[in-house]
Amino acid sequence: MSLKPNRSSRLAPRLRRTLAFRLTAAYSIAGLLLLLLGTVSLYIVLRAELERSTELFLADKLHVLRTMLRERPNDEDGLREEIELESAARRYQQFYIRLLDERGAPILTTPGMAQRLDFAELANRTRSHPGRSISMVGRNGQAFRVASASAEVGSPPTGSDTIQIAIDISQEEELLARYRFWFWAILLITAVLFPLAGYRIARHGIRPVEQIAATARRITSTNLRERIQAEGYPLELASLAGTFNEMLDRLEESFERISRFSADIAHDLRTPVNNIRGEAEVALARARTVEEYREVLESSLEEAVRLSDLIGDLLFLARAESPLTELHLEKVNVGELLTTVRDYYEATAADAGVSLTAVEPAGAASASLDRSLMLRAVSNLVSNAIAHTPKGGSVTLAVSAAGPEIRIEIRDTGRGIPAEALPRVFDRFFRVDPSRSQISGGTGLGLAIVQSIMALHDGSAEIGSQLGCGTIVTLRIHTAAKR
């Protein structure tokens, strides 16, 4: 029962947090403020202009009458024309004039003026504001603008009259009132229309964002191929969609690599296990001599060693990736390390008919390294070099120090690696020729391990090769690297 109020109270803050709501609110407030500013300033200008034209009219009339009184004081017809007839001819903005003599007795008055204006009030109010026009309300509630001025009679002056003038400005007042009415009406209508239009614009603008979100929601590890079609998107969102698509490219590639890796692991684990199983089944099919059993056991042991080496390599790679992996660092003389590896592989090289040499470094090149890991990396490289160098070839180990960098080079005069395979040799389970390597026992993890070891040392491993000429692997380590 308490669900309803709860839901609505939770909905309001949610709505307030939406982009569409914020954009709509911003559009509406900005739109209304602009409209308000525009209409209010137009109203002020219009009112000022109306007042100015009334003012000019009054000033003009006064000027005409004063000139007439000064220059043609006896032209009664002219004055009558100005005061009594001209106003009656007008439909709008009717004006009324009253001419008083020195004692205040009226000489001429526009017909109808007495019905519209209270003369006593007119005299009173204009007296307190001499020479200026002021607003006044007539007998019937109409708005007037009134002014009064003294005028010299004759030239040189023989006396002074008073001109009282009033102009009906109720039409202007009505115009302004209509303006105000429409101003509020339009404001009210736009207060409803702006949010509606703003909301539509905002929804339209953020639709691509929703489409991006919908695509992102649809993507799982099984449909990483899906991409956002960003045609027609605004530039900013097209770039967002592009970034998102690039991320998907990378994810797809990583997923592919991982699934290929798992398939490779399964395959490489299955082969020795199948061998052990097949040999055991054949051996058990009938009675065997002790010699035969020994042979089977020996062969099984070989496969088991292969299997445990493979598992060991995989475990090593998995651990090397963990950020918690610790190195057992010690000062290692790299020249001596190479000599150790050379000594270890001497017999293998001799069997393969390959000469193996370690070039003595000019100075002592030493760095703080994990000795056993570095031994493993260099051993992997030397074993590769010997395995891929035909009889009569040579493998050379060398170290050089250039500034804070130590460079280890393992160079052979072997078969080399085809250029198209070169970028992939550091990948796990990659073998240039899988069938041949399988016989020689390679699993394709050797170079991946070398790369992991170098990464652990903040160093790098690079390979260069020319088919038929040989291969050089260069390991670089910074002696100053923080480890």
Ligand X SMILES: Nc1ncnc2c1ncn2[C@@H]1O[C@H](COP(=O)(O)OP(=O)(O)OP(=O)(O)O)[C@@H](O)[C@H]1O
Contact positions vs Mg ion (CB under 5 A):
384, 446
Classified as helix, coil or strand, 139 is: coil
203 vs 215: CA distance, rounded Å: 18
Choose the stretch contacting ligand X; rule: CB under 6 A; options: 133-141, 286-294, 348-356, 427-435. Answer: 427-435
Please pick, from the candidates 430, 451, 453, 461, the single residue that binds ligand X as defined by CB under 6 A: 430
CB of 373 to Mg ion, least distance (A): 16
The residue (of 167 and 432) whose beta carbon lies closer to Mg ion is 432
The residue (of 157 and 464) whose beta carbon lies closer to ligand X is 464
397 contacts ligand X (rule: CB under 6 A) = no
- Which partner in Mg ion, ligand X, none is near 198 (CB below 5 to 8 A by kind)? none
413 contacts ligand X (rule: CB under 6 A) = no
**Amino acid, single-letter form, for residue 369:** L
437 contacts ligand X (rule: CB under 6 A) = yes
- Which partner in ligand X, Mg ion, none is near 431 (CB below 5 to 8 A by kind)? ligand X
The residue (of 248 and 448) whose beta carbon lies closer to ligand X is 448
Task: Please give the full DSSP string across 403-414, using - where no structure is assigned.
Answer: TTEEEEEEEE-S
Of 302, 294, 312, 292, the C-alpha closest to 272 is 302
Of 168, 178, 181, 159, the C-alpha closest to 139 is 168
CB of 268 to ligand X, least distance (A): 10
Of 409, 403, 404, 371, the C-alpha closest to 481 is 404
Contact 82, 97 (CB under 8 A): yes
471 contacts ligand X (rule: CB under 6 A) = yes
Classified as helix, coil or strand, 474 is: strand
352 contacts ligand X (rule: CB under 6 A) = no
Q: Could you tell me the CA-to-CA distances from 380 to 356, 430, 473 in Å, in that order? A: 14, 15, 11
Instruction: Give the total residue count for the chain.
Output: 483
The first and second tokens of residue 406, run together, are 């130590």
Choose the stretch contacting ligand X; rule: CB under 6 A; options: 242-250, 334-342, 368-376, 407-415. Answer: 407-415
354 contacts ligand X (rule: CB under 6 A) = no
Q: Could you tell me the CA-to-CA distances from 228 to 208, 219, 238, 253 in Å, in that order? A: 10, 11, 9, 17
457 contacts ligand X (rule: CB under 6 A) = no
Please pick, from the candidates 166, 341, 385, 398, the single residue that binds ligand X as defined by CB under 6 A: 385
411 contacts ligand X (rule: CB under 6 A) = no
- Which partner in ligand X, Mg ion, none is near 354 (CB below 5 to 8 A by kind)? none
**Alpha-carbon torsion, ordered 85, 86, 90, 95, to 10 deg:** -100
Choose the stretch contacting ligand X; rule: CB under 6 A; options: 39-47, 166-174, 236-244, 409-417. Answer: 409-417
82 contacts ligand X (rule: CB under 6 A) = no
99 vs 95: CA distance, rounded Å: 13
CB of 275 to Mg ion, least distance (A): 21
The number of C-alpha atoms within 13 Å of 441 and in the hemisphere containing its C-beta is 12
Contact 369, 407 (CB under 8 A): no
The residue (of 147 and 354) whose beta carbon lies closer to ligand X is 354
Choose the stretch contacting ligand X; rule: CB under 6 A; options: 72-80, 91-99, 256-264, 441-449. Answer: 441-449
Q: Which residues bind ligand X (CB under 6 A)?
A: 380, 384-385, 388, 412, 414-417, 425, 430-433, 437, 442-448, 471
